[in-house]
Chain A
Amino acid sequence: MKTRPDGRKFDELRPISAKAGIVKNADGSAMFKIGDTIAYAAVYGPRELYPKFLQDPTKGILRCRYNMMPFSGAGERVKPGPSRRSTEISMVTEKALLPVLNLEDFPNAVVDVFIDLPQTDAGTRCAGICAASIALADAGLWMREMVSSVSVGKVNEDILVDLTYEEESAEGEVADIPVAYLPKSGRVSLLQMDGEISKDELVKALELGRQASLQIYEVQKQTLLDKYRGESNEE
């Protein structure tokens, strides 16, 4: 049987570790590490939103900022500040998280999510969404369920889960598909694709991703339980 460059099986995730409550000044925060990709998410709010014209009197708004740190990549320094790419990823992160939130109780307010990546090896938006999901729960916000995200793809006939940068940039026919699943309801809140894939292969890839997302969900759950363990004896 063929294996991948790092010896994983096709449907195997990279090693994951996560921790909640790492940013003391934030209302909620989390670190999510998958392989060599590390994402930190900090949630502030709900808090008052200024400038005032951004306020929505019918509901609170969610603002995400995705940021790769300058030294995070493997090669060239990443130019700091927003770019076309990071602006887009911020937007899709926001749209991946919004379906589970209910901000109607917070008119005119904002929930800020800051995602920073000190080290990257592909799958950054997925790691960012996983971290943000833990951080939002840690911040005590109303959430329908968690969001678990993973990338799937095709590298030269092989359908893979959780691609590394090496696989993503391989020669030949490559498709990279980041997906965010709502693990409980089985819905999908983010689906993007780079490259080409046939319909049958896509369906197969998404099914592998769904299985993987359940493993990620378990990690997210344990992470939150670890932070609050012991508090259950509350009288």
Chain B
Amino acid sequence: MGLLVNDKQIVIPGEDLASGMDFLPSHGTFRDGEHIVAAKLGISSVDNRIIRIIPLSGKYMPKAGDNIVGRVVDVTINGWRLDINSAYSAMLSVKDATSEFIARGADLTKYFNFGDYILTGIINVTSQNLVDVSMKGPGLRQLGEGRIIHVNPYKVPRIIGKQGSMVTMVKDATSCRITVGQNGVVWIQGLPEDELVAVDAIRKIEQESHIPGLTERMKEYLDRRKRKVDSNENKA
């Protein structure tokens, strides 16, 4: 009776997490008779009586309220279709894209063309996973020159850090502009060599997010990389 796994333990689908009725199944788990069973590969998380699985892999699932980075893949009669690094694409309609007046039948590629990256917010996700996004909100805009990298969407919270502490640190150290979409698409803009440092830093966060003391390690890493860039500049 009771808990069969430790908190923060890696479990695989089909593993029993708890037996008896003292616990409640939450995300990534289900009840099978007496047992609560894991349905995803991930880390078990026990919060009082509630057991859930924090997934470690998988595609991004669109959720209302998320800010995501999308790429224009199609231009339709009343808006743009965006690839959002998920199983589904998102629809940005003209009326949600800008407060500017756009005449009916205008050439929409003048506003956003194929391949443009846009930071948008999800306003609604239907039962059929049709995703509506909007650009009305603070900071939502078209992303200009720079580079795009893809990260595991489940690592995004670690890349952003508490109240954005981690990403702010990378921004300050590399003097790049960085936007992290909840869907794991990251936009970085700065001087080319600074961008490279930022990319490496984000990759490092992604890989080492599980090892404690990440913030200190990243601080040291960024200092080291910055000194190297500076000394190269002096040589040149």
Contacts and interface: CB of A to CB of B under 8 A. Distances in A.
Please determine whether chains A and B interact with each other in the same assembly: yes
Contact of A141 (B43, B58, B209): B58
A230 B210 CA distance: 7
Contact of A234 (B13, B30, B54, B127): B54
Contacts of B56: 140, 228, 231
Interface string A26-60: 01100000000000000001111000000001000
Nearest to B14: A145
A230 B14 contact: no
B137 interface: no
B71 interface: no
A231 B9 CA distance: 9
Nearest to B13: A143
B89 interface: yes
Determine which residue in A57, A102, A140, A182 has the highest number of CB atoms from chain B within 10 A of its CB, and name it: A140
Nearest to B212: A233
Interface string B140-151: 000000000000
B41 interface: yes
Interface in A120-155: 137-146
A229 B10 contact: yes
B236 interface: no
A164 interface: no
How big is the B interface, by class? 20 to 34
A10 interface: no
Interface in B181-217: 209-212
Nearest to B6: A232
A140 B55 contact: yes
A27 B10 contact: no
Given A224-B41, A233-B212, A107 B12 contact: no
B39 A106 contact: no
A235 interface: yes
A108 interface: yes
Nearest to B7: A232
Nearest to B158: A234
A109 interface: yes
Contacts of A107: 127-129
Given A107-B128, A140-B56, A232 B12 contact: no
Interface string B14-31: 110000000000001010
A225 B89 contact: no
B236 to A, nearest CB: 35
Nearest to B152: A140
A137 B57 CA distance: 9
A106 B128 contact: no
Contact of B41 (A47, A138, A229): A138
Contacts of B42: 140
Given A106-B129, A146-B14, A234 B210 contact: yes
A106 B87 contact: yes
Given A27-B59, A140-B55, A108 B129 contact: yes
Contacts of A145: 13-14, 37
A235 B15 CA distance: 22
11 contacts: A57-B128, A108-B128, A138-B57, A140-B55, A141-B58, A142-B40, A144-B13, A144-B14, A144-B39, A145-B13, A224-B12
Given A142-B40, A143-B39, 5 more contacts: A27-B57, A48-B89, A106-B129, A228-B41, A233-B210
